[in-house]
């Protein structure tokens, strides 16, 4: 079943028992709360896309699990074309929302669990696959909005889960019952968490045997007893509450939050991993690569918004054709398309991890994608600020433009070329400000899907240095008898191979 | 006379006739307005510094013009040591304020006018110098807070002032009277403009003969009839009005604004340039170099704040000694000290432009300083976000931390190492967020004192390519008879030389 | 027919009438000349690859034009898989040669002419296609080694061909005869030109009607009367003549040269374009994108050689596992795989330009590939030098190591970890020096397939700024009635579209 | 006494017993050897400078130790002006030589030993100062050419000297005699070592008590029995032996070499440190900062040569005024002047380490200088190659230009604008190639005076993170009682402070 955006909104509006806090207050209807409404609208765009002419084909896919069309955001990838379609869809949705639309983490979690539980089944333990396939059917039939919850709060960063002074610094099983498990802990930085139907929880790192109680994956509805959500602040968030229609760009935004599991009961049929610590490493690698690939789409889409706003602002003062502006615009395009190119490569070079499918992205290029994303957006923003001018940091409020005492003066002095009114320029300035210094384009680009150090670790793991060394030695004739080595093609992550 | 910070605040509090607009409303007392108060406090810090033990010596200087000690922010530099003291003072004031303290532009305007009117006198036209020296005495005796207003709104960027469809796109003289002139136009991006006693206006570019009416410099009190100030918005500004004491970092901030001259009368004794279009080029170059040099101090001071907050945040999760964190911190220090080094070089290598003094910075290194500042802060912020973690973009509000229903949960899950309470971590996160994505550290670093393209023009003007070419030709023995050329030492700007 | 490497060498050995100059002397047998032999060996590797186990499949393709297997280097791409295979093959050949193997330009010329003459036929002018298909059969049946000659010497860079003081600054037709044309001019920077059977000439830029005599494409054997080749020098080339087997890395190298057409007659059946100046723009764009895509393969292959040599050198002094070395190696991998990723994206996203095939790369990602290549190799080399140590610039000669008087001392003091002998370290140092500061990895990465400015022009042409502007305006609600725009997908080059 | 360049050359010509090996052969007269002669000429330039009009003042200084004028390269700095003069002199000498002139290391070694032995005397051990002052007088009176030898071969990089499998991997005392010591080991990467009168040896790292035998500093003439020098190869070195006058740029070059101490006897009066391992740390830090400061001068001087050659090459094809070329030239100037600015700041902010003088550079800015130098030259070279064109990697040999058969053709086709002959263009191309890919501009910029990692360590040591943390905490009101902290001014290195 495909839900419309309206149906999604109605669905979460009724979820009044969920304990959600925003700016110090409990919120019972997230769809009308001024802080959260822009996030709900961005989430909603993922549903609407399946019904809009320009995205309909990209946003739908045929699911062999329920034998009908589903929203792509709950689809299990059936081949490289699906992986490519993901990246292209994300880029387009960034154009429609100008923000993170928050539905990818849950999607990537589904694809990850499909592969991992499938792999477990291939090794003889089919119970998790059975449960997961039922859950997948539940999700696809209802077109659910899911959050994926991975990052634990982690406490002391240098200690393993079982060594922490606070034993709940990582989510863990505190009680095993006949009918299920009881979990405790919290997940941080959870994208869109207040605007979803359910949350899928994954372990955040490779665990050792001592950490077995922390090797747990499960799904719960957001209004499950014991679940508490505290929504985080973002740059410029307070403007949303001002009631204007320019400065706060109230149309769409995203949010991230802390989700706390305060002794939450989870029935067995929603538990997808428990104590199987050996599978945590592969799970994390598989998920991370999926999510890193996606950034090639959504962040380049935000890049388009920034390039577009910058280009229009250059027009407002008549400099869009000046050589140094054209040169900087070309640089922005280059940086932006680099991120997208890598995302496409990660998709096209995907491979099958299960006999019956289980398509995964190429991890080397997925990591390249994310690492480019961790660097280039700051450059893109700097170039945008450079071209757009100091006005990005000094423009008056929309309320000044509406004040009759000074309205005329402002219209006179904010105008550049005569054809474009001052208000239009102000709207573009605010859009540029709100996107180019947003959490979504800057901080999330660094940390989302793992910080840069995590990608560096993967580069060292995925690249075959020994092969490269053999190539070098052969060329320098150190061992003339050596036969030509194979090229150092990216390899599967070692952890996955072992299993 | 040296005013205390309190005296400064009292002074602007009484200036109730000034027409100042903030967020669509007229403000009569800027010292209590929630939006502007943090700016007033930052400005105030420049006065307090002259009475605080750790900055007293740096913040005072002996003025030969009134034969007594003055606040350095109204001092005319008497040698390289004064130029160096400026950079060092600015770095320290950034530590005290965590923001732009807004008093440099007026200071640089004074030093610029001192040199330019002095130069005019040396060429035979002493009237401007006479007026300026009187004005200087007025300023020094009262320890006035000055804004420097240079950047016009510029309309169509590719047209000269006299070619604009809107003739007021650059500030100009619309009437010449016996007792003075009447000016019209507006200046944009004026730092601290709502918190000053007076504003000193300078032309923003080299003018041609056709633009003579635009070649005008003058000073007026802020409450002069016809003057209208519209304060601009900044990233995260709305938080200041929330009433908390963490999220908005309500202590200090800065502001920039649009100042409109709506047929404003200026008496002759406050006119420092009029119709002398030939002097506009040198004036702009001299001012720009002064202001570019200063950025080596204030921006590296903000860099210290960011490094410090990042370092403390690394401690909160126990990673301050990890090799990859130490490496990134070292990178931040390198970037930060590079900006400062160049500022010092620009100061030490300053030179005397007038027979009786008129010390100016070295323009080549001043431009190097600013160009480094136009690039490195975005890098520094990215590294800060990288080390500090996703929490910079997802931390809950201070009001959540004060809500009794969830306070305990948040304290449990926001804490890293047991020694540091959650609130301390939150305070550091907010400081880092507020400084690292501020207008002052990002957008102003690009555009303040001229955008990067302006520095590129100066590099091409200041560098002696012909000499470098001679060196290359000599080394490649193209003309063996050539004698060793002089080194391509930075030259004075050509415009200045011509005069 | 597939020739072996030996057959190729025999073929060019017999071509004794070609006028080839190296270091001021005429060379009659390029296969034994010490300067050129390494280039011949690198070229030879493209033939050998079709017979070596690890590259056999990649290096062969089935040609529908002669209905048999051909060496991929003379193959016309039949789909995205062929484009991908090109990039993968090039990476592997870089491993086998450690240099540019020089056969891509001719290959790209064939594919370009296939599309352009095909396009001309679709528009009604089939004579060129007929000639070209015959020539293609000739090339594929004989498995010829081709140079592609595009870059004219260009004289005064700011003048068009017909405006030049030297009318031969661009290759042109000086006489039209019944049996063919006579051409004059010279092509510079021609890769591998002294080691080929024939040379295929293409115009180097979009021509206007005035330049019609310069709109010429043709092919001639290298020993055609009037053809003169002057081989260019390269960094460290003189070491090849020393007779050692370490310092000069005499195994393989590449060369580029100037080819002069001194009134050369070309029969009509070898003329593939003449006076059709409207087709020069599309031809150049199509060729350039093909060649830019390829750089994603060959340059990342050289990157592997450098990474491998660096990694082995780190082992020689026991630092391969130190955190800061691992971090720098990961950075090298990231930079290297970024170039490759973009090359893959350019291939997978290729499209069909002709009804019957004519597969072309995606021009946006091909330009991204080349622009990354124009930047990252200098970074990779710097990191390699950083890790490998000062020894890269200070190692003694191999002849020192063979001098009995000091051999023992050198073996003692050049050794790092006891397991690896000094000679092995020296061999790796020389390989690293020779590849990391080579023309092939540095200067050719900047200029090959067009300098960075050429890619910037393409970014501005290929990116749809108007669409991006529409997206920004829609998001900032400037025209609320606008329907969601299409995503700014990369477009075909405008010149091609027009035709 | 000041020697002329000729006197220097005569001096080393007579030093025929020195055991110097080049390219596998013993060299008895370094002044006529084709490989070494360019180095001798570059060294000679440091002597000539004291007699040439444009450098005479900079290149001379008054020595209070012998009460007469000396060549600045043997001068002990007497104040910040001397430190500044050093940087300025080095920039000019790069213009005269186009290479490293090799005399700085010895100079920095003198200044380092002056401070360290002075410091030892202040702590009560005056014997070393006495010896050193006598040696200094000896050097200044004879105007000696000195090499400074610091970098040991180091064997296994992760082991301390006393832990090495090869006990001679660091230079050490193998025997203590009544009249002196006997040393064994080797120093690598020693600049100009074959062209000096004497060599001054310093320890390369901070030693522990176990390494006491390695804590040794001394000076010996190059022809001392047991000393063996093996000269290292450099990029393009073999061209020097071709006998041309363009391609090899035979005028000047530099060299680095391995110096082996094969049981060399050193009399006590030439021993400046022995067993005093506690002083090795300060010695290394003091020396490193001196040498890092200097790079701001010499490398920006080479930058001028590259900028000049690039600019002239742009003229040869008529593009010197094109906007994108002007933009890239400005970028080169910016990068180049950044390095120089930091060097000036390090000099002006120098301080006195001894009661009677002992002027040292500011270590923070000296490290900034070197770290910029470790990055920017590769950028400068890339931009030079970009502007100059592919010809840098493909130009024919000078011998082609002299071959009568093809001379006319080459002159026709190598020419750009008609005013500049082909030979001139070729000369500039060769100069650019030889400087921009030289060991001196690339590899030495990374490794000379310590690799980038060494500067990162110093940034972490010199920056006061605790102070920065205090500043951040005060601003975020974590401890409202805290008094304003002092600014984090660069501190003296901790090791030095302890002593």
**pLDDT of B83-92, one tens digit each?**
999 999 999 9
Contacts of C232 in chain D (CB under 8 A): 393-396
State chain A's mean pLDDT as an integer: 94
pLDDT of res. B250:
67
Q: Does B57 touch chain D (CB under 8 A)?
A: no
Contacts of C450 in chain A (CB under 8 A): none
- Is the pLDDT at D497 greater than 50, yes or no? no
Return d(Cα A184, Cα A168) in angstroms, integer. Answer: 6
C479 pLDDT tier (thresholds 50, 70, 90): low
Q: Is A343 helix (H, G, I), strand (E, B) or coil?
A: helix
| Torsion sign over Cα B445, B448, B454, B458 | negative
The number of residues in chain B equals: 499
* DSSP assignment string, C39-105: HHHHHHHHHHGGGSTTTHHHHEEEETTTTEEEEGGGPPP-SHHHHHHHHHHHHHHHHHHSS--S-HH
pLDDT of res. B278:
95
Interface test with A, best of D324, D331, D383 (most A CBs within 10 A): D324
CA-atom Rg of chain A in angstroms: 24
pLDDT of res. C15:
87
Min CA distance, B451 vs chain A (Å)? 7
Single out the residue of D328, D445, D439, D333 nearest to residue D388, CA to CA: D328
* B413 is a catalytic site residue: no
Min CA distance, D324 vs chain A (Å)? 8
Return d(Cα B311, Cα D468) in angstroms, integer. Answer: 8
B305 vs D95, D471, D477: nearest CB? D471
D447 vs C239, C390, C414: nearest CB? C390
- Cα D397 to its chain centre, rounded Å, is 31
Contacts of C323 in chain B (CB under 8 A): 323-324
Instruction: Calculate mean pLDDT across residues D393-419.
Output: 97
pLDDT of res. C499:
44
State chain B's mean pLDDT as an integer: 94
Q: Which residues of C are catalytic?
A: 100, 104, 191, 256, 291, 295, 298, 444
- Is the pLDDT at D81 greater than 90, yes or no? yes
Nearest residue of D to residue C383 by CA position?
D446
Cβ <8 Å between B95 and D344: no
- Is the pLDDT at C248 greater than 90, yes or no? no
Instruction: Calculate mean pLDDT across residues C423-431.
Output: 97
A491 pLDDT tier (thresholds 50, 70, 90): very low
- Is the pLDDT at A481 greater than 50, yes or no? no
Q: Chain A 338-357, CB below 8 Å of chain C: which residues?
A: 338, 340-342, 344-346, 348-349
Instruction: Calculate mean pLDDT across residues A479-492.
Output: 42
| DSSP secondary structure letter of residue A237 | G
Q: Chain D 243-272, CB below 8 Å of chain B: which residues?
A: 245-246, 249, 251
pLDDT of res. C384:
98
C311 vs A88, A334, A465: nearest CB? A465
Contacts of D244 in chain B (CB under 8 A): none
Min CA distance, D59 vs chain A (Å)? 43
Q: Do the beta carbons of residue C61 and residue C82 sit within 8 Å? A: yes
The number of residues in chain A equals: 499
- CA torsion, points A122, A126, A130, A136, in degrees to nearest 10? -40
A15 pLDDT tier (thresholds 50, 70, 90): confident
Q: Which of B114, B128, B295, B365 is catalytic?
A: B295
Which CATH architecture fits D5-276? Answer: Beta Barrel (2.40)
- Is the pLDDT at A482 greater than 50, yes or no? no
For chains B and C, CB pairs below 8 A equal: 6
A483 pLDDT tier (thresholds 50, 70, 90): very low
A250 pLDDT tier (thresholds 50, 70, 90): low
Residue D15, both tokens: 């030093």
Nearest residue of D to residue C403 by CA position?
D24
**Percent of chain A whose predicted confidence (pLDDT) is above 70:** 96
pLDDT of res. A198:
98
- Is the pLDDT at C426 greater than 90, yes or no? yes
Q: Which of D8, D295, D340, D365 is catalytic?
A: D295
For chains A and D, CB pairs below 8 A equal: 6
Q: Do the beta carbons of residue B314 and residue B387 sit within 8 Å? A: yes
Q: Do the beta carbons of residue D303 and residue D380 sit within 8 Å? A: yes
pLDDT digits (tens, 9 = 90+) for A158-183: 999 999 999 999 999 999 999 999 99
- Is the pLDDT at A488 greater than 50, yes or no? no
Return d(Cα A439, Cα A99) in angstroms, integer. Answer: 9
Helix, strand, coil tally for chain B in percent (to 5): 55, 15, 30
Q: Does B482 touch chain D (CB under 8 A)?
A: no
D250 pLDDT tier (thresholds 50, 70, 90): low
- Whole-angstrom CA distances from B471 to A322, D56, D305, D337 are 34, 18, 6, 17
pLDDT digits (tens, 9 = 90+) for B211-220: 999 999 999 9
Q: Do the beta carbons of residue B23 and residue A244 sit within 8 Å? A: no
Cβ <8 Å between D431 and B475: yes
- Is the pLDDT at B488 greater than 70, yes or no? no
Angle between helices D323-348 and D80-97 (to 10 degrees): 140
Nearest residue of D to residue C419 by CA position?
D156
Single out the residue of A64, A80, A82, A81 nearest to residue A72, CA to CA: A82
Q: Chain D 83-122, CB below 8 Å of chain B: which residues?
A: 88, 91-92, 95-96, 98
Q: Do the beta carbons of residue B252 and residue B85 sit within 8 Å? A: no
* B100 is a catalytic site residue: yes
With b meaning 16 or more CB within 10 Å and e meaning fewer, what string describes A286-303?
Answer: bbbbbbbbbbbbbbbbbb
Cβ <8 Å between A256 and B442: no
Return d(Cα D122, Cα D125) in angstroms, integer. Answer: 7
Instruction: Calculate mean pLDDT across residues A362-378.
Output: 98
* D208 is a catalytic site residue: no
Interface test with B, best of C319, C322, C324 (most B CBs within 10 A): C324
Residue D19, both tokens: 């055991």
D157 vs C236, C239, C416: nearest CB? C416
Instruction: Calculate mean pLDDT across residues D468-490.
Output: 67
Angle between helices D280-316 and D452-462 (to 10 degrees): 120
- Is the pLDDT at B483 greater than 90, yes or no? no
Put residue C397 in one of left, alpha, beta given phi > 0 → left and psi -120 to 50 → alpha: beta
pLDDT digits (tens, 9 = 90+) for B93-104: 999 999 999 999
Instruction: Calculate mean pLDDT across residues B171-190.
Output: 98
Contacts of D323 in chain A (CB under 8 A): 323-324
- Is the pLDDT at D282 greater than 60, yes or no? yes
Cβ atoms within 10 Å, residue D279: 25
pLDDT digits (tens, 9 = 90+) for B320-332: 999 999 999 999 9
For chains A and B, CB pairs below 8 A equal: 263
Q: Do the beta carbons of residue B262 and residue B228 sit within 8 Å? A: yes
What residues contact residue D10 under an 8 Å CB cut-off, 6+ apart? none
Please measure the distance between the N-terminal and C-terminal CA atoms of chain D and give it in whole angstroms.
36
Which CATH architecture fits D283-460? Answer: Up-down Bundle (1.20)
Q: Chain B 154-173, CB below 8 Å of chain A: which residues?
A: 154-159, 165-166, 168
What residues contact residue D284 under an 8 Å CB cut-off, 6+ apart? D150, D202, D203, D204, D205, D206
A479 pLDDT tier (thresholds 50, 70, 90): low
Q: For residue C454, list its beta bridge partners.
A: none
State chain D's mean pLDDT as an integer: 94
Q: What are phi and psi of C71, to 5 degrees?
A: -65, 135
Cβ <8 Å between C389 and D447: yes
pLDDT digits (tens, 9 = 90+) for C151-188: 999 999 999 999 999 999 999 999 999 999 999 999 99
Q: Does B430 touch chain D (CB under 8 A)?
A: yes
**Percent of chain D whose predicted confidence (pLDDT) is above 90:** 93
Nearest residue of B to residue A450 by CA position?
B390
Return d(Cα B232, Cα B440) in angstroms, integer. Answer: 13
Contacts of C324 in chain B (CB under 8 A): 323, 327
- Whole-angstrom CA distances from A101 to A372, A436, B201, C248, D484 are 21, 16, 47, 57, 44
- Is the pLDDT at A496 greater than 80, yes or no? no
- Cα A372 to its chain centre, rounded Å, is 15
A478 vs C327, C372, C427: nearest CB? C427
pLDDT of res. D372:
98
Mode of pairing for the β-strands spanning B198-201 and B146-149: parallel
Return d(Cα A382, Cα C229) in angstroms, integer. Answer: 48
pLDDT digits (tens, 9 = 90+) for D208-233: 999 999 999 999 999 999 999 999 99
B499 pLDDT tier (thresholds 50, 70, 90): very low
* D466 is a catalytic site residue: no
Contacts of B383 in chain C (CB under 8 A): none
Kind and range of the H or E run holding A106: helix A104-122
Instruction: Calculate mean pLDDT across residues D285-314.
Output: 98
A371 pLDDT tier (thresholds 50, 70, 90): very high
pLDDT of res. B479:
63
Please give the residue that has the higher pLDDT: either A497 or C117. Answer: C117
- Is the pLDDT at D352 greater than 90, yes or no? yes
Cβ <8 Å between B348 and D346: no
* DSSP assignment string, D100-123: --S-HHHHHHHHHHHHHHHHHHHT
- Is the pLDDT at C483 greater than 80, yes or no? no
Residue A488, both tokens: 């150092």
Return d(Cα B439, Cα B454) in angstroms, integer. Answer: 20
**CATH 1.20.140.10 location in chain D:** 283-460
**CATH 2.40.110.10 location in chain B:** 5-276
Q: Do the beta carbons of residue C97 and residue C46 sit within 8 Å? A: no
pLDDT digits (tens, 9 = 90+) for D154-179: 999 999 999 999 999 999 999 999 99
Cβ <8 Å between C394 and D258: yes
Cβ atoms within 10 Å, residue C56: 11
Contacts of B327 in chain C (CB under 8 A): 324, 327
pLDDT digits (tens, 9 = 90+) for A53-88: 999 999 999 999 999 999 999 999 999 999 999 999
Interface test with D, best of C230, C331, C392, C452 (most D CBs within 10 A): C230
Cβ atoms within 10 Å, residue D263: 12
Min CA distance, A400 vs chain D (Å)? 31
B308 vs D88, D249, D468: nearest CB? D468
Q: Which of B298, B340, B470, B495 is catalytic?
A: B298
């Amino acid at each position: 079943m495909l839900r419309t955006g309206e149906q999604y909104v109605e669905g979460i509006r009724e979820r009044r028992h969920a304990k959600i806090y925003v700016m110090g207050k409990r919120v019972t209807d997230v769809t009308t709360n001024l802080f959260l409404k822009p996030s709900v609208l961005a989430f909603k765009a993922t549903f609407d896309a399946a019904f809009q002419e320009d995205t309909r084909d990209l946003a739908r896919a045929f699911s062999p699990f329920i034998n009908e069309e589903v929203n792509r955001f709950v689809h299990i990838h059936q081949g490289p074309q699906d992986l490519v379609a993901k990246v292209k869809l994300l880029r387009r949705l960034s154009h429609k929302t100008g923000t993170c639309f928050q539905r990818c983490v849950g999607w990537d979690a589904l694809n990850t669990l499909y592969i991992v539980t499938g792999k477990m089944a291939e090794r003889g333990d089919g119970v998790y696959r059975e449960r997961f396939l039922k859950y997948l059917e539940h999700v696809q039939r209802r077109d659910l909005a899911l959050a994926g919850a991975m990052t634990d709060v982690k406490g002391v960063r240098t200690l393993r889960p079982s060594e922490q002074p606070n034993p709940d610094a990582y989510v863990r099983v505190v009680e095993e019952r006949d009918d299920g498990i009881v979990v405790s802990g919290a997940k941080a930085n959870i994208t869109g968490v207040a605007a979803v139907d359910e949350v899928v929880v994954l372990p955040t790192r490779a665990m050792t045997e001592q950490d077995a109680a922390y090797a747990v994956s499960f799904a719960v509805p957001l209004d499950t007893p014991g679940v508490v959500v505290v929504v985080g602040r973002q740059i410029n968030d307070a403007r949303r509450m001002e009631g204007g229609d320019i400065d706060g760009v109230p149309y769409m935004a995203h949010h991230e939050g802390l989700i706390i599991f305060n002794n939450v009961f989870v029935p067995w049929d929603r538990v997808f991993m428990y104590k199987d610590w050996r599978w945590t490493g592969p799970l994390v690698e598989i998920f991370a690569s999926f999510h890193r690939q996606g950034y090639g789409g959504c962040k380049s889409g935000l890049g388009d918004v920034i390039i577009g706003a910058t280009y229009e602002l250059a027009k407002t003062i008549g400099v869009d054709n000046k050589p140094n502006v054209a040169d900087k615009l070309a640089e922005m395009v280059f940086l932006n398309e680099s991120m997208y190119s890598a995302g496409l490569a990660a998709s096209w070079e995907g491979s099958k991890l299960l006999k019956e499918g289980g398509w995964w992205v190429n991890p080397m290029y997925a990591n390249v994608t994310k690492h480019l994303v961790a660097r280039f957006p700051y450059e893109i923003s700097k170039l945008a600020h450079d071209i757009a001018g100091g006005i990005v940091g000094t423009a008056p409020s929309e309320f000044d433009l509406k004040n009759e005492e000074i309205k005329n003066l402002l219209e006179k002095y904010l105008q550049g070329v005569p054809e474009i009114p001052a208000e239009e320029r102000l709207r573009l300035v605010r859009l540029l400000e709100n996107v180019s210094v947003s959490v979504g384009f800057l901080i999330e680009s660094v940390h989302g899907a793992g910080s840069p150090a995590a990608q560096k670790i993967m580069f060292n793991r995925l690249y075959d240095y020994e092969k490269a060394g053999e190539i070098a030695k052969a060329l320098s004739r150190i061992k003339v008898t050596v036969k030509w080595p194979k090229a150092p093609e990216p390899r599967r992550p070692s952890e996955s191979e072992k299993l």
